[in-house]
A = this chain, B = another copy of it.
Amino acid sequence: MQPLQPETIERLRAVSTATLTTQLFKRGFRNVFMQGVRALRPSTRTMVGPASTLRNIPAREDLDHLGVFADPGHPQRRSIETAKEGHILVVDCRGDARVASAGQILVTRLHVRGAAGLVSDGGVRDSGPISEMDFPVFCACPSAPLNLVLHHAVDIDVPIACGGVPVYPGDVVVGDRDGVVVIPRALADEVATDAAAQEEMEEFILERIAGGAPLPGTYPPSDETRAAYEVWRSSRRKTAIA
């Protein structure tokens, strides 16, 4: 898989997950938004990056004891130690947030390695200190108990479920205040382009609505509104260039 184009990342950083779900809905995708997964700390910065994945199954008492972490190949540890720059580690906890899927030390390592974020449909521990880090973490909720109580990390970089959504390694993950959307990799460029265009149009529409325009004719835009938008857009671009 080729790296994502820098302008795709840049465009995705500038749009909302709301807009992205609309673009994906237009293309027939109805299940792209993770349910029950939110930013540990609301932020104005949008998280964007390709997905790496970690899959958990339920723990078993004889296999999942503290000794397992002595093995550097333990999948949870490996998923973090091998995290790629700019990637987002997405963890399948089967939506079970009764325990944590990561804590401050692992999140710090992810951050140091240059990862772009962490997403889990399980819990996250040390939520206080992590909230103060400049690193986006999305999860179901804070949860103190260690992962071994309920999770057995089983493999990495396989297709998984997270928040009810399929996540294939390399899919593009975008997170903001509303939550996390997963864009199939092959569609990332065109969705980013169209989402940017949609948001520019909606910025214009929002101005009109804020100024008192009625919904009919404005949202969605009539031909007249579209024409006015084209004028607004050209004039804005000229201003930007000037």
Q: Counting CB contacts under 8 A, is A120 at the interface?
A: no
CA distance A177 to B144 in the complex (A): 9
A125 on the B face (CB < 8 A): yes
What is the number of residues of chain A that contact chain B, defined by CB distance less than 8 Å? 84
A22 at the interface (CB under 8 A from B): yes
Bound form: Cα–Cα A61–B184 in Å: 11
Does residue A80 face the partner (Cβ distance < 8 Å to B)? yes
**Contact between A72 and B215 (Cβ–Cβ < 8 Å)?**
yes
Most chain B C-beta atoms within 10 Å of own C-beta, residue among A42, A60, A141, A160: A60
Kindly state the separation between the CA atoms of A154 and B146 in the bound complex, as whole angstroms: 28
What B residues does A157 contact at CB under 8 A?
none
Q: Given the complex, which residues of B lie within 8 Å of A72, measured CB to CB? A: 215-217
Contacts of A164 in B (CB 8 A): 58
Give every chain B residue within 8 A of A31 (Cβ-Cβ): 58-61
A-B contact pairs, 5 of them (CB 8 A): A18-B144, A21-B149, A33-B99, A62-B184, A72-B216
Partner pick for A108 among B18, B94, B181, B210, CB 8 A cutoff? B210
- What chain B residues lie within 8 Å of A38 (beta carbons)? 141-142
Q: Given A25-B148, A38-B142, A146-B21, check contact A160 B215 (CB 8 Å).
A: no
CA A142 to CA B16, docked complex, whole Å: 12
Asked whether, in the complex, the Cβ of A144 is within 8 Å of the Cβ of B181, the reply is yes
CA distance A143 to B163 in the complex (A): 13
**A92 to chain B: closest residue by CB:** B57
In the bound complex, what is the Cα–Cα distance between A74 and B69 (angstroms)? Answer: 35
Contact present for B66 and A178 (CB under 8 Å)? no
